[in-house]
Structure 1
Amino acid sequence: MRRAVFLDRDGVINRALERGGKPYPPTSLAEFEILPGVPEACAELKQAGFLLIVATNQPDVGRGTLKQEVVEALHAHLRSVLPVDRIEVCYHPGRGASDCDCRKPRPGMLLRAARELGVDLAQSWMVGDRWRDIDCGHAAGCRTVFIDHGYAEALRQPPDHRVENFAAAAKLILDASRTSAV
């Protein structure tokens, strides 16, 4: 079985656009800015043997306010600059999607990727910047790391760890994996 780091996209990998204390996804390639330290942190995690799997809710597509082609273009760019192994996307809009198992906080995206890639969820991590990410990671059986940007929303359950950015999350994960390998 393999180990993975599941990453939320907006606010973890790329800068989220903030309005009224809440994060929003970029709507064009011009707005899609990889955060400082992310490429290096991803390279270190890959070198340590982790799969990197992006798990992102993109409900604006389901709501009709963003074209799926834009999201796919952003992901093509992301793949060209970061060593991600897979990108899981939920396009469901949220409300009224009660039959959807993939929209975080539900763990469907993580469970599907784990099943198809042979991932041991108990040896894996979910890194996110919102309560949905942390709840999703817990529901899947992963350890969780919360990147605290000070958004105007509360967590529903505590993360295993809290850090300021993805570089710090990667260091924490790498340190923990070295400790458990001894």
Structure 2
Amino acid sequence: MHRAVFLDRDGVINKALMVDGKPYPPRNLDELEIMPGVDQAILQLRDLGYFCIVVTNQPDVARGKTSLEAVESINQFLIERLAIHEIISCYHDDHENCDCRKPKPGSFIMAALKYNIDLSKSFMVGDRWRDIAAGQNAGCRTFFIDYQYNEKQPTNPTYRASSLPDAVKIILNECL
């Protein structure tokens, strides 16, 4: 079986847009800014044999705040620029109660089946409580990147890191 590092998109791969202490996704390619060192960090993970899979909630599509085409153009840009295997997006809002919306583990389970991934040997890197809870619900070890958002905080992440490159350093030093 394979190992994976699941990555949240906004706040881990690219900068989130901040409004009143809360993070929001870029609405288009003009607002997209890839975080420093992310490209090299993903290459390091791939070199270590990890699948790199982005798992992202994009409820603004269901809320009518952005278009499916805008989100998919951002995702396509990231796939073309970074060594990620796949981006799995959930376009639902909470009230739809789908299995793919974090904190539920449906997207992780789908990826595990597709790529023959052992979730217990995998990681989730995220910047919000939903990311950490989803990783925990899937049986992964978790990395919380704490930007001090003005929102609910996660419960008991396995590790804390300042960025994806920092999380990769911890994986290299403690987890192999």
TM-score band w.r.t. shorter chain: over 0.9
Aligned-pair distance for 1:175?
Answer: 2.2
Query: In the alignment, is the contact (CA less than 8 A) between 1:45 and 1:174 conserved in 2?
Result: no
Structure 2 CA distance for aligned equivalents of residues 6 and 115 of structure 1: 14
Structure 1 CA distance for aligned equivalents of residues 96 and 170 of structure 2: 35
Query: In the alignment, is the contact (CA less than 8 A) between 1:54 and 1:87 conserved in 2?
Result: yes
After superposition, what is the alpha-carbon deviation per residue over 1:58-80, rounded to whole angstroms, capped at 9, x for unaligned?
00011111110011110111011
> What are the equivalent positions in structure 2 for 1:111-150 lying under 5 Å apart?
111-150=109-148
Structure 2 CA distance for aligned equivalents of residues 23 and 34 of structure 1: 15
Residue identity opposite 2:161 in structure 1: V
After superposition, what is the alpha-carbon deviation per residue over 1:66-123, rounded to whole angstroms, capped at 9, x for unaligned?
11001111011101110010111100022x212x111000000111001111000000
Partner of 1:37: 37
Aligned-pair distance for 1:176?
Answer: 2.8
> What are the equivalent positions in structure 2 for 1:65-144 lying under 5 Å apart?
65-94=65-94, 96-98=95-97, 100-144=98-142
State the TM-score, normalized to the length of structure 1.
0.94
Residue-pair matches, total: 176
**Helix, strand or coil at the partner of 1:87:** strand
The runs of 5 or more residues in structure 1 that have no matched partner are none
Query: In the alignment, is the contact (CA less than 8 A) between 1:114 and 1:120 conserved in 2?
Result: yes
Structure 1 CA distance for aligned equivalents of residues 163 and 72 of structure 2: 25
RMSD: 0.9
Structure 2 CA distance for aligned equivalents of residues 69 and 103 of structure 1: 19
**Helix, strand or coil at the partner of 2:61:** helix
Residue identity opposite 2:39 in structure 1: P
Residue identity opposite 1:53 in structure 2: I
Partner of 2:168: 170
Describe the shift of the 1:150–1:156 C-alpha distance in structure 2 as closer, same or farther (beyond 3 A).
Answer: closer
Moved over 4 A (4+): none
Structure 2 CA distance for aligned equivalents of residues 145 and 156 of structure 1: 10
Partner of 2:158: 160
Identical pairs, percent: 51
After superposition, what is the alpha-carbon deviation per residue over 1:141-178, rounded to whole angstroms, capped at 9, x for unaligned?
00000001111123241100111111101111222333
Residue identity opposite 1:3 in structure 2: R
Partner of 1:17: 17
The runs of 5 or more residues in structure 2 that have no matched partner are none
